């Protein structure tokens, strides 16, 4: 879908990533997902009078690593602030966050644009903050319940510059950011479970206009696809308003997944509405050079670098290398397969083609996928001429459903390629005898019929004849 060509979109994203620490940001409560309501809370979580927060340094390290990976500036001195607001799921009446002095500033992530070029999307800041609790309304009459398990869960908020110009760019940026936090092992990147959440600030303006339009903040975007759809819808809505002479109200809008539209939720609050002030219970956060250097040393190979290495080490196209390195799991998987077979290119074709197609058709497949070394064994069987590539696809499909190895399936179903020349020769002769018309037309010059004969022989041998041998034998017999 394209918007009115006289306009351009201006988009900035705010991403909340739940950090994979074992305990919460300011107390020792566990962070496991799915515990019974209020089973993972303590007096700090419930904001009893007199409790004091104690900073979890594992979370700080994770946010620093992310800051280093986006080539941001790590502030040697940052501070925590109170963001004050009233809500039933926030017993303290404030959220501990970072405001004037965040941990990281001025980073960026490179994306590929629609036009095929590369573009750096600026990252204004990354700061650390706690999550709030959850109000429960469903199935409860005459009351609302509050679950504080999420209270105090460590989040980092990654705020981009308004550098994105289309829904596709926003999707691309999110994919890169998600791949990055997964590579770093600081967040599982799961948008459905809410461990990666994205709000989008969207405005539109006429091309050539240097002023920014009034923006709306979109919430409830729990997949990359929804982020993109909501942005498209919102930009259209704003353009329609402007074209009909109306103005845009700055507000927060909720994406309605079922109806495919955004609805007004509340007027947008300004920063001063929150009465931010430095958190009196926590000292400023000072970082030593040694700590930052040691975290820099611990950074894994990141997606960009790994993509370039795949291109040189395995002679892959930039497309294949990008697909394979988009996720650390897939990249690790590919390297295991490629290390065990003779052709790294063949391994890439199978992983990007067959496997990812399976994963995409049914996301749960990733959970019971085929071990890399089992796929490698299947590919070795093709390379050794035991089975054809076509049969291998059937075997792979059975490997998914039966959890058996390739060898066991090939053995059980008798799928080994026929390499017995005499047997193939018999099939060739039988086909020629059964098709006298085609045979005389071939001999009269219609050599295109070779494909017909090959097809007939493969059919007669149920796909198991070695195609090269079939071709050779046929050409000899057809020559008469
Ligand atoms: Zn607690």
Question: What does the pLDDT look like over 172-219, one tens digit per residue?
Answer: 999 999 999 999 999 999 888 889 999 999 999 999 888 889 999 999
**Which three-class secondary structure state does DSSP give residue 475?**
helix
Q: What is the DSSP string of 235-302?
A: HHHHHHHHHTT--PPPEEEEEETTTTEEEEEEEPPPGGGG--EE-TTS--EE--HHHHHHHHHH----
Centre of ligand 1 from the C-alpha of residue 349, in Å: 49
pLDDT for 367 equals 47
Q: What is the C-alpha to C-alpha distance for residues 49 and 52, in angstroms, rounded to an integer?
A: 9
Centre of ligand 1 from the C-alpha of residue 53, in Å: 9
Centre of ligand 1 from the C-alpha of residue 270, in Å: 30
Percent of the chain with pLDDT over 90: 57
pLDDT for 230 equals 95
pLDDT for 180 equals 93
Other beta carbons less than 10 A from residue 144's beta carbon: 11
Centre of ligand 1 from the C-alpha of residue 265, in Å: 31
Centre of ligand 1 from the C-alpha of residue 152, in Å: 7
Most confident of 148-152, 459-463, 468-472: 148-152
pLDDT for 363 equals 54
Flag whether pLDDT at 7 surpasses 70.
yes
Centre of ligand 1 from the C-alpha of residue 51, in Å: 10
Q: What is the mean pLDDT of the chain?
A: 89
Centre of ligand 1 from the C-alpha of residue 389, in Å: 56
Centre of ligand 1 from the C-alpha of residue 427, in Å: 75
Flag whether pLDDT at 295 surpasses 60.
yes
Centre of ligand 1 from the C-alpha of residue 44, in Å: 5
Domains in the chain: ranges and CATH:
7-291 (no CATH), 301-413 (no CATH), 421-478 (1.10.10.410)
Q: What is the C-alpha to C-alpha distance for residues 26 and 19, in angstroms, rounded to an integer?
A: 13
Centre of ligand 1 from the C-alpha of residue 385, in Å: 61
Centre of ligand 1 from the C-alpha of residue 45, in Å: 4
pLDDT for 35 equals 85
Flag whether pLDDT at 274 surpasses 80.
yes
Summarised one tens digit per residue, pLDDT across range 84-142 is 999 889 999 999 999 999 999 999 999 988 787 889 999 999 999 999 999 888 888 88
Centre of ligand 1 from the C-alpha of residue 90, in Å: 13
pLDDT for 1 equals 57
Model's pTM, two decimal places? 0.78
């Amino acid at each position: 879908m394209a918007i009115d060509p006289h306009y351009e979109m201006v988009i900035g994203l705010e991403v909340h990533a739940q950090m994979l620490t074992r305990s919460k940001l300011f107390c020792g409560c566990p962070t496991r997902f799915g515990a019974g309501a209020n089973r993972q809370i303590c007096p700090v979580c419930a904001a009893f009078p007199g409790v004091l927060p104690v900073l979890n340094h594992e979370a700080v390290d994770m946010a620093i690593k992310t800051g280093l990976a986006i080539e941001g500036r790590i502030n040697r001195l940052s501070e925590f602030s109170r963001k004050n607001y009233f809500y039933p799921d926030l017993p303290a009446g404030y959220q501990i966050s970072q405001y004037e002095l965040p941990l990281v500033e001025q980073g960026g992530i490179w994306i590929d644009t629609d036009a095929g070029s590369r573009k750096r999307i600026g990252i204004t800041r990354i700061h650390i903050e706690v999550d709030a609790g959850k109000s429960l309304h469903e199935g409860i009459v005459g009351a609302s319940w509050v679950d504080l398990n999420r209270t105090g869960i460590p989040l980092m908020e990654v705020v981009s510059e308004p550098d994105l110009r289309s829904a596709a760019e926003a999707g691309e940026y999110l994919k890169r950011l998600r791949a990055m936090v997964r590579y770093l092992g600081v967040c599982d990147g799961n948008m459905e479970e809410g461990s990666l959440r994205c709000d989008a600030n969207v405005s539109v303006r006429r091309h050539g206009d240097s002023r920014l339009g009034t923006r709306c903040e979109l919430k409830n975007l729990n997949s990359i696809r929804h982020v993109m759809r909501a942005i498209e819808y919102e930009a259209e809505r704003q353009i329609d308003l402007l074209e009909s002479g109306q103005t845009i109200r700055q507000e927060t809008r909720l994406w309605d997944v079922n109806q495919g539209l955004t609805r007004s939720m509340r007027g947008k609050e300004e920063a001063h509405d929150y009465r931010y002030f430095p958190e009196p219970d926590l000292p400023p956060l000072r970082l030593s050079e040694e700590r930052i250097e040691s975290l820099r040393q611990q950074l894994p190979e990141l997606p960009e670098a790994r993509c370039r290495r795949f291109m040189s080490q395995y002679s892959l196209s930039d497309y294949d290398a990008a697909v394979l390195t988009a996720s650390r799991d897939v990249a690790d998987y590919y390297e295991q397969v490629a290390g065990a077979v003779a052709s790294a290119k063949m391994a890439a074709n199978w992983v990007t083609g067959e496997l990812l197609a399976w994963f995409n058709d049914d996301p749960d497949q990733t959970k019971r996928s085929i071990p890399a070394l089992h796929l490698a064994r299947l590919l070795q069987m093709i390379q050794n001429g035991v089975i054809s590539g076509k049969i291998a696809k059937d075997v792979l499909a059975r490997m998914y459903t039966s959890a058996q190895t390739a060898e066991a399936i090939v053995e059980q179903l008798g799928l080994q390629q026929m390499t017995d020349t005499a047997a193939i020769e018999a099939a060739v002769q039988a086909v020629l005898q059964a098709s006298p018309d085609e045979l005389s037309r071939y001999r009269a010059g219609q050599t295109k019929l070779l494909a017909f004969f090959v097809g007939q022989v493969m059919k007669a041998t149920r796909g198991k004849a070695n195609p090269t041998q079939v071709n050779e034998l046929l050409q000899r017999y057809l020559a008469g």
